[in-house]
């Protein structure tokens, strides 16, 4: 089982490669997954949906001299930006005005009416910084890092345009350049944030069972742009395929539905689209949701979710000699099980404790541990076939 899951992980991470959300790469991966499930004998459909996503390529940060001058600022034409999730879209220009960390005492007495706030990262949340600048009249914000390099971030809410002004982030080094130039005189900054509508998709593979109960098994198959995403989340998708392969000839007392979700990296968009497609009655039929995410690197298998499921997982792990520990979601992270949890559906998530390489170029097959893949698949299969699942003790 570990060998099968490792082979699937290799195929997804290396042969298919980067599977960026809502791209042709993601579609190629979805088509592969659909073929695999169909070959196992499952009823398969691809569920399309649309995502609105920020476009760094179409967004930007530019600079001009203030009115009445002719000398353009030099040395800042190549500043690279990142976009913070939750930023407002649109274009705004104003005098670039440093406000340090955007603490209350950092805001000028006269406010920031019509200006672009230049803010240092740190101490308080991005949301607090941006809200404070906007309330003081700023039309946009530029946040520079407080350590070397650039960064990505969120304004704390998944909703598009949840902030009142457009926001971009830049590196510490570029922030220092701007601060140095501002000592010499004023600069007009223009912040532009663009959002595009893109096509994404879920793959739904089902084996009907008796009765009304449905158990959903899910894993997101997309990766962040340009990365193979071996641990996050080729590994989870591979375990999903491995479990499906093992269950293809097994009769279960409920309908089992395998769903590789698209566009998880854009904010759980695939699982959200799936839940939104269901009626209240269909949601009520889902007795449990199993999720597999970032489970390939660490000292042991971790499980989290409904107590009745984690207790069952711990007991079965002991009987199967699988090292498994009950845990909780890391602060600031989430995965597709959260979408089901919000609907009152009991969930269990399979993961592992080492997240150190996710969303980096080091998330490669070199660090994938086949034993963790096998343990996840074996424990999931044991749970699915336990007499007390999904009803619980």
* DSSP assignments along 80-126, one per residue: --EE-BTPPPEEEEEEEEE-TT--GGGS-TT--TT-EEEEE-BSB-H
Q: Which residues partner with 190 through β-bridges?
A: 62, 93
Query: Residue 139 CB: number of other CB atoms within 10 A?
Result: 23
Helix (H, G, I), strand (E, B) or coil at 207: strand
* Annotated catalytic residue within 26, 74, 206, 264: 264
- Per the listing, tokens 């990505």 go with 152
388 is catalytic: no
Closest CA to 263 of 85, 27, 88: 27
CA angle 11, 15, 21 (to 5 degrees): 90
Measured CA to CA, the distance from residue 329 to residue 378 in angstroms comes to 22
* DSSP assignments along 181-201, one per residue: HHHH---EEEEEE-EEEEEEE
**Measured distance between the N- and C-terminal CA atoms of the chain, rounded to whole angstroms:** 28
Which residues are catalytically annotated? Answer: 264
């Amino acid at each position: 089982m570990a060998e099968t899951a490792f082979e699937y992980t290799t195929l997804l991470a290396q042969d298919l490669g980067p599977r960026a959300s809502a791209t042709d790469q993601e579609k190629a991966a979805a088509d592969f997954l659909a073929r695999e499930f169909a070959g196992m004998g499952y009823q398969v459909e691809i569920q399309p949906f649309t995502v609105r996503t920020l476009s760094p390529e179409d967004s930007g940060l530019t600079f001009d001299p203030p009115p009445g001058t002719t000398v353009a600022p030099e040395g800042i034409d190549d500043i690279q930006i990142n976009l913070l999730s939750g930023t407002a879209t649109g274009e705004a220009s104003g005098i670039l005005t440093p406000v340090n960390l955007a603490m209350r005492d950092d805001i000028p007495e006269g406010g920031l009416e019509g200006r672009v706030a230049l803010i240092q990262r740190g101490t308080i949340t991005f949301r607090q910084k941006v809200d404070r600048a906007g309330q003081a009249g700023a039309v946009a914000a530029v946040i520079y890092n407080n350590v070397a390099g650039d960064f990505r971030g969120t304004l704390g809410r998944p909703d598009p345009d949840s902030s009142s002004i457009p926001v971009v982030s830049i590196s510490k080094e570029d922030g220092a350049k701007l601060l140095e130039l501002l000592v010499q005189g004023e600069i007009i900054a223009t912040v532009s944030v663009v959002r595009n509508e893109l096509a994404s998709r879920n793959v739904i593979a089902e084996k009907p069972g008796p009765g009304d109960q449905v158990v959903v098994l899910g894993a997101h198959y997309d990766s962040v742009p340009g990365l193979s995403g071996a641990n996050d989340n080729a590994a989870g998708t591979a375990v999903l395929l491995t479990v499906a392969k093992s269950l293809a000839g097994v009769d279960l007392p409920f309908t089992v539905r395998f769903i590789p979700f698209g566009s998880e990296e854009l904010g759980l968009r695939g699982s959200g689209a799936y839940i939104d497609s269901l009626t209240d009655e269909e949601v009520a039929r889902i007795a449990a949701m199993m999720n597999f995410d970032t489970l390939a690197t660490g000292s042991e298998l971790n499980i989290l979710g409904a107590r009745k499921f984690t207790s069952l997982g711990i007991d079965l792990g002991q009987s199967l000699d699988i090292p498994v520990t009950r845990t909780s979601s890391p602060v600031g992270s989430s995965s597709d099980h959260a979408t089901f949890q919000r609907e009152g559906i009991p969930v269990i998530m399979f993961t592992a404790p080492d997240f150190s390489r996710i969303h980096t170029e080091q998330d490669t097959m070199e660090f994938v541990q086949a034993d963790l893949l096998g343990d996840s698949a074996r424990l999931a299969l044991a749970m699915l076939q336990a007499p007390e699942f999904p009803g619980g003790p």
